[in-house]
Amino acid sequence: MSRRPEWWLYVLAKIWPVTWKSAMATQWPIVGGLVAKLALPLMSEKNFNVTHIPINTEISGADSTYLPTLVLEELINRSAHRVIIKRCTCRDERKCENHSIEAGCIQLGAGTEEIDPRIATHVSKNEAIKHMRSCVEDGLVPMIGRVKVDNLIWGVRDRGRLLAVCFCCRCCCTVLNSGKYLPDDVAGRIVRLEGLEIRTDHQVCTLCETCVDSCFMGALSNQNGRIIRNDDLCKGCGLCVSTCPEKAIYPVIQDADKAVAELQQRIKKRIDFESPF
């Protein structure tokens, strides 16, 4: 088992600004290329691949489905072991006033057996599901995938046995605050759920631009009195859906089963979170 004392979480919060500041630094003249080159090994295709799951909404289509429950409960139920990190580093660093700092990420897979219980609670499947539901009900966006840096942070030997399930808020999350600054190849590893479309009812939209402000990739803009979405930039996180005061934005996915199968297959290529040691 790794050795991470409780104070390690507070140290992380102090040094955490390095994460989002380094993403912004990739855009700086002269030094930006060097910063990107140094960071790329941790953000390679093998080491970083994540997907956001739209929150607090029913996905309409051929079969209406509440997607977070469909995806996350299955992953938790299939996991060999699981922990809940005791504090969210992103929210801790920014002293979040909108969501609980104790709403930490869930880590899945046999690798979690190595995580020091002083920084994480080892939980049953039912306890993990209860935590997940609480986070989603609070409006936090689930982000699922392979994040190699987590192995370093939580002291887990990298054997491809650690799956991250983060619960992100727009005000604090590193990815949701730095996505638009990432180099294109890294940003491409934030993968939209297959077949997911985010649509706007322009007859209901009042052009308040709340959605424009909420989009972490800068995919929305007001062009000639109409909200336009750049589908090449949109990551399908659903923040625009949940923040629109007029409920003019909605997600559509025609084949939820196919989308979930593609996500699971992408995870399996990088992580075995089901098999015990």
Domain boundaries, the chain: 7-186+257-270
Point out the least confidently predicted range of 133-147, 182-196, 197-211.
Answer: 182-196
Instruction: Classify the C-alpha dihedral 34-38-40-43 as positive or negative.
Output: negative
**Structure pTM?**
0.91
CA geometry: angle 172, 104, 122, nearest 5 deg: 165
Number of other CB atoms surrounding residue 162 within 10 Å: 25
pLDDT in tens, 59-115: 555 444 567 878 899 999 999 999 999 999 999 999 999 999 999 999 999 999 999
What is the per-residue pLDDT across 212-236, written as a single tens digit (0 to 9) for each? 999 999 999 999 999 999 999 999 9
Q: What pLDDT does residue 169 have?
A: 95
In this predicted structure, the answer to whether residue 151 has a pLDDT above a threshold of 50 is: yes
What per-residue confidence (pLDDT) applies to 60? 53
Place 40 in a pLDDT band, splitting at 50, 70 and 90: low
Structure tokens at 186: 């890294």
What are residue 163's phi and psi, to 5 degrees?
Answer: -110, 125
Q: Which residues contact 213 (CB under 8 A, 6 or more apart)?
A: none
Distances (CA, A) of 230 to 26, 52, 57, 106, 216: 22, 17, 22, 31, 12
- The DSSP output letter for 115 is S
Residue 64 is predicted with a pLDDT of 46
What number of CA atoms fall less than 13 Å from residue 241's CA on the CB side? 23
pLDDT value of position 243:
92
Instruction: Please give the pLDDT value at position 120.
Output: 98
Average pLDDT score over the chain:
90
